[in-house]
Structure 1
Amino acid sequence: MKVAVIKYNSGNVQSVLYALERLGAKAELTDDIEKIKSADRVIFPGQGEASSAMRYLKSKNLDQVIKETTQPFLGICLGLQLLCDHSEENNTECLGIFPVKVKKFIPENSQEFKVPQIGWNELEKIMDNPLFRGIKPHPFVYYVHSFYAELSEFTIAQSHYIHDFSAMLHKDNFFAIQAHPEKSGEVGEHLLKNFLNLRN
């Protein structure tokens, strides 16, 4: 199985490659359009800033390539946010796969809630979805983020930090997770394995 990990000058990519390697997947970090189109799976990870990430994607025509993918596709962290419609981070128009807005956490009590959210948090209200096959109830995953996707009809799991937000999204062949599965221990490894094992 060939896995294309989209290169767009974002951080935290190497740990995703290591996680895929542990699962036996042949993964390549690339911004080559033909390699992305021919891959069995596409993963869109990253940490960074939304507007500069979108500029890079557009400069390489990767924004159109992403919209046209038909194989299973997984956005991680910033990857989830860029798959949404609009981000409050520098007022950025994103890819619009999910008609969802991305907003900044604004704590009512800065003593109780720190932004970014860094650490473990529970996946709640998990929907019936192949990504959760074999995962025990009330799993915890690891987050590092200052922005979040609103709840929507495409939310397949949510978490709570200051308020409820979309922890995971799904529409057609597009899946996305706000947390970092590559840093989430057995639960994250299981999520990635389930993604790799999806039927096309």
Structure 2
Amino acid sequence: MHDLVIFDCDGVLVDSEVLSNQVLIDSFARYGLNLSLAECMALFVGGTMTGVREKARALGADLPENWIEQIYSEIYEVLRAGTPLVAGVPELLGQLDSLGIPYCVASNGRPEKMQITLGQNGLWDRFRDVMFSAHVLGVGKPDPALFIAAAQHFGAKSPVVIEDSESGVTAAKCADMRCLGYAAHHDGARLAALGAEVFDDMAQVPKLLGL
């Protein structure tokens, strides 16, 4: 039995990736880079915004120096307007609560962003004290430091990570942790190739965890 479940936030707890990536697409188009939603998500899901900026510049986007603050402001505005939970998350958290299995969130996103998305869905109080952010720790996925810090906080010996990005799966495997790869918008092949156990419905998680 696992003694800690570590959730990614965007795309795992909240269905925010399509919303955020559409904002990226619109921004990139203003600066000379045109991408489809599928291309944008394949390139940027799971990255830090600094990494997104550098990769976009390498692809030809003429992004200004203040672009990161600009894009965060635009993304936050869209997320505040309504970010749905991933289907099945409340039920899964309730089951973990009933079994006394601790859980936390570990994300490359800023705490302010998680407060917007989790707060409007009633999950902020559940996660506010067990939130591990790359912006606080100073290092993000694919570095395993976030997951290692989370496991150390709980004294967990057998944690499991639930991720939806290649960088997140890579971080979990580098931390020598089991990783479940949530693939709601694609076939999950790239996650599986990195060692994740792919699933596409949160209702499958209890069985995968042996609950």
TM-score (norm 2): 0.30
Higher strand share: 1
Higher helix proportion, which one? 2
Larger Rg: 2
Higher RCO (Cα < 8 Å, 6 or more apart): 2
